């Protein structure tokens, strides 16, 4: 990230040894490659911020990440999280040393300010995380902690214990926020699960196959038991529909929630059909998106964990200043 004249002066002087750690931070890996239909968003900030050309206004440049995401939506492709400048992980930091250094001086690991291109710094939570990661992530969610706070080490310990069981919070930040709230003592469950049952039917016809799923769920809100059932295209869709049907009269905002993405990963493939699975569920309220995680040897249980936390976090986003979630009468 050194300016070219300064780099050349150092190199020609012969008094400084230089070591390189190459990355795709500028998006120049494809600069001389043949490409068709390639949306080279990185060209604009490279020309404007690195070479000094005036391509667009600064206010327009600050919307570059938004334009990139909108383009992905229009062409129905998943956004490239690792795209230079505009990707969700372009300014992500995982290792404890990285995070500690960035907290002191962002320029140690970032070649520009993320806000210049409409992006934002992201602290990734994983088994490599240290206290610096936890503190930085807590601040990003509005939780004020310091290294002397017992809750800080409690969160870190809980994180590492869950990751050893197969949980992963890098892509499920909503679940990690709920974990932090639980450690800090102000997470309250908006409802209690009493039980659920899912039935799947597959009827093979001469020319078509008919399949459906029916989920029955029993929950309690403020001591009141609710029993509901719903159908869906699959067991997870049916379970999600039944849960929202049971809760919508207490939390009307749930009516607009949507399950926008669902991913399953087998964690120990050698175990065959009894393998443990990790489920990631992305939910949306039409304006915001958040991701939650569940892990179990039972794929429905893992899915239920993620779906429940998705609904709980959506309710939390509706009233971020409230520590407890209260149903409407």
Domain co-membership, 73 together with 141: no
Task: Verify that 19 and 61 share a domain, yes or no.
Answer: yes
Give the end of a domain, one of 160, 184, 208. 184
Which residues form the domain of 226? Answer: 192-318
The pLDDT value recorded for residue 308 is: 94
Three-state SS sequence of 218-259:
EEEECCEEEEEEEEECCHHHHHHHHHHHHHCCCCHHHHHCEE
* pLDDT value, residue 177: 93
Domain boundary among 87, 102, 117: 117
| Distance between CA atoms of residues 71 and 38, nearest Å | 12
pLDDT at residue number 280:
94
What is the structure's pLDDT at 127? 58
Q: Which residues pair with 231 in a beta bridge?
A: 214
Domain assignment of residue 163, yes or no: yes
- What is the spatial distance between Cα 315 and Cα 136, in angstroms, rounded to a whole number? 24
Q: Is residue 325 part of a domain?
A: no
Q: What is the pLDDT along the chain (329 residues), one digit of tens a residue?
A: 556 677 677 767 666 666 666 666 666 655 555 455 556 788 899 899 999 999 899 999 999 998 988 887 777 777 788 889 998 888 888 766 777 788 788 888 889 999 999 998 887 776 556 777 788 888 888 888 887 888 888 888 888 889 888 898 888 989 999 999 998 888 888 899 899 999 987 766 656 555 688 999 999 998 899 999 999 888 899 999 999 999 999 999 999 998 889 999 888 766 666 788 999 999 999 888 999 999 999 999 999 999 999 999 999 988 655 444 444 44
């Amino acid at each position: 990230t050194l300016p070219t004249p300064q780099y050349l002066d150092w190199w020609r002087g012969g008094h400084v040894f230089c070591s390189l750690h190459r990355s795709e931070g500028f998006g120049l890996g494809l600069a001389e490659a043949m490409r068709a239909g390639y949306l080279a968003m990185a060209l604009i900030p490279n020309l404007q911020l690195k070479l000094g050309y005036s391509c667009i206004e600064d206010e327009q440049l600050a919307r570059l990440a938004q334009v990139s995401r909108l383009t992905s939506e229009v062409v129905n492709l998943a956004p490239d999280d690792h795209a230079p400048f505009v990707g969700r992980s372009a300014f992500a930091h995982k290792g404890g040393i990285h995070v500690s250094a960035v907290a002191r001086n962002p320029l140690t690991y970032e070649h520009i300010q993320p806000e210049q291109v409409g992006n934002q710094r992201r602290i990734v939570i994983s088994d490599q995380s240290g206290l610096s990661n936890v503190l930085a992530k807590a601040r990003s969610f509005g939780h004020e902690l310091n290294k002397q706070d017992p809750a800080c080490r409690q969160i870190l310990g809980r994180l590492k214990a869950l990751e050893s069981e197969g949980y992963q919070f890098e892509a499920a930040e909503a679940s990690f926020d709920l974990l932090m709230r639980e450690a800090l003592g102000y997470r309250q469950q908006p409802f209690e699960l009493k039980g659920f049952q899912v039935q799947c039917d597959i009827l093979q016809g001469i020319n078509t196959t008919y399949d459906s799923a029916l989920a029955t769920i029993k929950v309690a809100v403020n001591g009141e038991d609710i029993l509901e059932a719903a159908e869906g295209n699959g067991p997870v869709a049916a379970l999600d529909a039944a849960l929202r049907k049971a809760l919508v009269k207490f939390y009307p905002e749930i009516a607009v929630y949507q399950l926008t993405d669902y991913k399953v990963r087998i964690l120990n493939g050698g175990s065959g059909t009894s393998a443990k699975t990790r489920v990631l569920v992305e939910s949306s309220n039409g304006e915001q998106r958040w991701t939650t995680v569940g892990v179990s040897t039972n794929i429905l249980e893992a899915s239920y964990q993620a779906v429940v936390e998705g609904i709980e976090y959506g309710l939390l986003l509706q009233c971020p200043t409230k520590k407890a979630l209260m149903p409407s009468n």
